[in-house]
Amino acid sequence: MRFQLSLEEIRTIAQPEQILGNFPGNITQIAALREAQAGALSFLANPKYSGDVAISKASLLLLPKKFDHIPAANQAIFFCENPSAALAKICRHIEKMGENTAPAAIHPSAIIPPGTVLGENVSIGAHVTFEENVKIGKNTSIGAGTFIGNGVSVGENVKIFPNVSVMAFSQIGHFVTLHAGVVIGSDGFGFVKIEDRHEKIPQIGNVILEDHVEIGANTTIDRARFASTIIGQGTKIDNLVQIGHNVKIGKNCIIISQVGIAGSTIIGDNATIGGQVGIAGHLHIADGTQICAQSGVTKDTEPNAVLLGSPAAPYKEAVRQFASIARLPEILKKFSKIISKNP
């Protein structure tokens, strides 16, 4: 996204602890250290890229406050406690600059039954469909092609992107974001085998998303068989995640892309789950658990555990296992030599 911000405007947003150098023009883009040219802002958050700072042509650098660097000509440096956090504030400001500032409106093609409760300043896009008994809080926007089912309640300041499906009786809290293609409240995967047939078990519960939850594109969260599937306050879920029925996820968790969580598992607060992790059903993942990418979890975890591998094991134990496996060819070769000498 193109924009124009002066150094003074960025200083007000980022609140750096120290400033060196100057750039007289406007900052118009954000770029990586190596790719940045005049007029660009860049930053250093990962020490891996420290060597790129000296060669960067960015006009404004956000650097850690103890980083040793002298600005080039027509280059400014903002030294920050946390450059990533400072950049996030700047990007949030830029995002607001680019938002549609037109007044809230309801597109004429939207289907909204009588009795629907709409708060103040609600925006509803083209071809949105509401079923009966829907309630939408103030300052909420709903993108084109979205479906909102019977009895759904949506809180205030919610952002729903296009083509989202929120199925019957789901409850969406305040300041929630649902990205394109999200499905909230699809049927849980429940069947019982009768003779030689799989008979469907009705899924009559719902989904509850608490405040400040964000759900990534094409993620699906199943309704409970009964009671509720719950996503706790402040939890952030990436794209392409599948969450089964009756799962309960705590507060402020991070769940990365392509995770699958089977039904009735409970995940505590502040858990971090890496990409492509699989978690079996009916488990308890304790508070603070960290699960590394591509792990398979089949057992309950201890608080603040760090797990790796499939089946997942404590991180240090798993690393030793992997090291032993890597040495197997060498061990087998030595063993073969011993056998050949002593037939």
Active site residues: 245
Q: Identify whether the C-beta of residue 234 lies closer than 8 Å to the C-beta of residue 251.
A: yes
| DSSP 8-state class, residue 1 | -
Question: Which of 246, 220, 112 lies closest to 166 in space, CA to CA?
Answer: 220
Q: Is the dihedral of CA 147, 157, 272, 52 positive or negative?
A: positive
Retrieve residue 251's tokens: 């507060």
Collect all residues with Cβ–Cβ distance below 8 Å to 120 and sequence separation of at least 6: 138, 139
Collect all residues with Cβ–Cβ distance below 8 Å to 263 and sequence separation of at least 6: 188, 189, 190, 222, 225, 244, 245, 246, 247, 281, 282
| Angstrom distance (rounded) from CA 312 to CA 254 | 18
| Angstrom distance (rounded) from CA 212 to CA 228 | 18
Q: What angle do CA 214, 219, 224 make, to 5 degrees?
A: 90
Q: Which residues make beta-bridge pairs with 215?
A: 178, 237
Q: Which one-letter amino acid corresponds to residue 343?
A: P
Question: Which of 183, 171, 96, 184 lies closest to 137 in space, CA to CA?
Answer: 171
Question: HSE (CB half, 13 Å, CA atoms) of 328?
Answer: 6
Cα dist from 247 to 97, 162, 280, whole Å: 38, 26, 11
Collect all residues with Cβ–Cβ distance below 8 Å to 8 and sequence separation of at least 6: none
Cis peptide before 202 (omega within 30 of 0): no
Number of helices (H), then strands (E), belonging to the chain: the values are: 3, 36
| Angstrom distance (rounded) from CA 121 to CA 101 | 12
